[in-house]
Amino acid sequence: MIRTLPQELEQAEVLRYLGATGKPMPNSVQALLQKAKEELWQAASPRAATKLLPLEQIKPLLQGKDILLHLQGCDSGVLLGVTLGLGVDTLLRRALAMDMAYAVVLDAAASVLVEQIADELEQQIRQSLSQQNRFMTGRFSPGYGDWPISVQPQFVQYLDAFKQAGLCTTSSCLLTPSKSVTALCGVANHPVKGRQAGCTTCALRDTCTKRKEGKCCAQENF
């Protein structure tokens, strides 16, 4: 499934990734951001994969308590995957070899871009389900909370992500192309919000920029 690029890159979110939230942005960084956007829009070939399955059918994926809490009250799940494609990986490798400062900005911009595309896809699925009087939680990805990243290869297999989007995993359970996102959203016949894991068990706790800012993304509502 081919996806379109957004009109704009969420610059404030890129700055958050860079740890520069609330700080004046030097002209040099602004120039790097503009260059990153221009090159990403040329190199990216975003694609996505989605599949709606009964929870019983994906039971082998549901390891750990946090994903089960997220899906509480749901009867089905939407598996989704989004990737920017191999062209962005090539762009990132070239930047790393030539200009480390630019590579850092480019990496952050690519991370924000793939999330923007995933957000748009999630919203479209939500709207489609609402027409059937169905409700959906937010996204929950392998590696969040105590949901082990080791489920990633099987997740991609259930999603048929390689055929749909050219998305697969490495031997260490990382996604390839590298700027890719996979996630599971719960679906029910009544309103559900799901749950995002807190910092204590999160696999991203050591690199999370929100945590470094003293903030938390946890949502304990169901």
Which CATH number do you get for residue 26? 3.40.109.40
Give the whole-angstrom CA distance, residue 215 versus residue 171. Answer: 33
Give the whole-angstrom CA distance, residue 34 versus residue 212. Answer: 26
Query: What pLDDT is attached to residue 219?
Result: 40
Q: CA geometry: angle at 137 spanning 115 and 140, to 5°?
A: 50
Residue 175 lies in a domain: yes
Give the whole-angstrom CA distance, residue 9 versus residue 48. Answer: 19
Residue 88 lies in a domain: yes
Query: What pLDDT is attached to residue 195?
Result: 76
Query: What pLDDT is attached to residue 218?
Result: 46
Q: Is there a contact between 145 and 197 (Cβ–Cβ < 8 Å)?
A: yes
Give the whole-angstrom CA distance, residue 218 versus residue 197. Answer: 6
Residue 221 lies in a domain: no
Query: What pLDDT is attached to residue 21?
Result: 83
- The domain in which residue 87 lies consists of 11-212
Beta strand 168-169 with 175-176 is antiparallel
Q: How many domains does the chain have?
A: 1
Query: What pLDDT is attached to residue 220?
Result: 38
Residue 3 lies in a domain: no
Residue 6 lies in a domain: no
pLDDT digits (tens, 9 = 90+) for 28-74: 999 999 999 999 999 999 999 999 999 999 999 999 999 999 999 99
- The number of C-alpha atoms within 13 Å of 209 and in the hemisphere containing its C-beta is 12
Residue 145 lies in a domain: yes
pLDDT digits (tens, 9 = 90+) for 79-128: 999 999 999 999 999 999 999 999 999 999 999 999 999 999 999 999 99
Residue 192 lies in a domain: yes
* pLDDT surpasses 80 at 212: no
* DSSP label of 211: H
Alpha-carbon distances, residue 131 vs 4, 52, 189, 190 (angstroms): 23, 15, 12, 13
pTM: 0.89
Cα dihedral 175→176→179→183 (10° resolution): -30
Residue 188 lies in a domain: yes
pLDDT digits (tens, 9 = 90+) for 1-33: 999 999 999 999 999 999 888 888 889 999 999
